[in-house]
Amino acid sequence: MKNAPINPGVRIGHVHLKVADLDRALNFYCGVLGFELMQRIGGQAAFISAGGYHHHIGLNTWESAGGSPPPPGSTGLYHVAILYPTRALLADALRRLIEAKIPLEGASDHGVSEALYLRDPDDNGVELYWDRPKVQWPHDADGKLAMFTHRLDLTGLLREAETMPPQMADAALHRDS
């Protein structure tokens, strides 16, 4: 017997990442990406968010203080994907990464979205992306979704940050104030 599909209102609420060094992780997620620290529990855990939500990402050292990333070939989380509401804000994220000298592992146009791929200081995979409006998603001749992977034009993306209206740029740069 086939179960009914999950309700379309269901969402992934938050992710908890095991980290070796809480301060180092906070420097990346808050200092570089711009998340806001909502609560910290000593050197063991921190809860961060965008826009004042209780937390989108939990960072903890409960089982991982001073630890190493899992070796290649082991199971676990491939990456956490962080959705930006606009292409201009994704461009601002790229600008932040460049300023912080954080290398990209990849940058792709998937037709439905544009994505930047990188590693956090604990070697967790991170995807930063924005979704195109659904009406722009590619479809095949039968009307089925036809995602693809093409190289993302990073220069074009950065131009988007340069043309961001001043109030949007200010909000992107000063989210924690």
Domain boundaries, the chain: 11-63, 79-177
The CA-CA-CA angle for residues 21, 26, 31, to 5°, reads 140
Query: Fold for domain 79-177?
Result: 3.30.720
User: Binning pLDDT at 50, 70 and 90, where does residue 2 land?
Assistant: confident
CA distance 107 to 109: 7
User: Binning pLDDT at 50, 70 and 90, where does residue 23 land?
Assistant: very high
Q: What pLDDT does residue 167 have? A: 53
Sign of the CA dihedral running 35, 37, 39, 40? positive
Q: How far is CA 153 from CA 6, 69, 106, 107, in A?
A: 35, 31, 11, 8
CATH of domain 11-63: 3.10.180.10
Average pLDDT over residues 19-24: 98
DSSP labels for 114-172? EEEEEE-TT--EEEEEEEPPGGGS-B-TTS-B----EE--HHHHHHHHHTS-HHHHHHH
pTM: 0.88
pLDDT digits (tens, 9 = 90+) for 66-109: 999 999 899 989 999 999 999 999 999 999 999 999 999 999 99
pLDDT digits (tens, 9 = 90+) for 137-170: 999 999 999 999 999 999 999 999 887 665 544 4
Mean pLDDT, the chain, whole residue set: 92
